[in-house]
């Protein structure tokens, strides 16, 4: 059996969007791809509301931890890079050695949401659902 291609989901903090995308990619495509996520400036922990939003749809990311993109650069034979935020797109490597594709698919940062608890949680749910749909239909570009 051929080895699975690696996919890296990249964001700035690796605490919300990229963690959600990693989990959904594993759910929908984990049989075909080895999925990871990282941040250009990783936070100390996964955002608690991201954990809660994912738990609401039966996906446990409570044990996930933010990782630095430097932990993967030059160490992971990456086939596909998915960038899920504007800031990471501006600061991530334009070329990743050995990668086949670089896809930019930005989502709003739910960590920037303001308002009362329910209003903020509504943003986390909306972004989660957008990421869910995008990762479900994601297909790597043809080589």
DSSP secondary structure of 4-72? PEEEEEEESSSSSHHHHHHHHHHHHHTTTEEEEEEESS--SS--HHHHHHHHHTT---TT----BGGGT
d(CA 72, CA 39): 10
Instruction: Go through the domains of the chain in sequence order and give each one's CATH number.
Output: 5-137 (3.40.50.2300)
Among the options 35, 78, 85, 135, which is catalytic? 85
Among all chains, which residue has been given the structure tokens 């501006």? 90
Among the options 7, 9, 11, 50, which is catalytic? 11
> For the residues 104-117, what does the mean pLDDT come to?
94
pLDDT tens digits along 10-38: 999 999 999 999 999 999 999 999 999 99
Does 100 or 118 have the greater pLDDT score? 118
The terminus-to-terminus CA distance of the chain in angstroms comes to: 20
Annotated active-site residue 11? The verdict is yes
pLDDT tens digits along 31-90: 999 999 999 899 999 999 999 999 999 999 999 999 999 898 878 788 898 999 876 555
Is residue 131 within 8 A of residue 105, CB to CB? The reply is no
Among the options 7, 35, 38, 92, which is catalytic? 92
Provide the whole-model pTM. 0.91
């Amino acid at each position: 059996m051929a080895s699975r291609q690696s996919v890296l989901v990249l964001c700035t903090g690796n605490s919300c969007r990229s963690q959600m995308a990693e989990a959904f990619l594993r759910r929908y495509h984990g049989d075909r791809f080895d999925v990871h996520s990282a941040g250009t400036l990783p936070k100390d922990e996964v955002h608690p509301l991201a954990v809660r939003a994912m738990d609401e749809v039966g996906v446990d990311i409570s044990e996930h931890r933010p990782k630095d993109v430097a932990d993967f650069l030059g160490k992971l034979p990456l086939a596909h890079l998915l960038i899920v935020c504007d800031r990471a797109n501006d600061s991530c490597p334009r070329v990743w050695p050995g990668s086949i594709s670089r896809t930019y698919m930005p989502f709003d940062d739910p960590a920037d949401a303001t308002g009362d608890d329910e209003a903020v949680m509504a943003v986390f749910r909306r972004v989660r659902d957008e990421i869910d749909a995008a990762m479900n239909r994601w297909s790597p570009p043809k080589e």
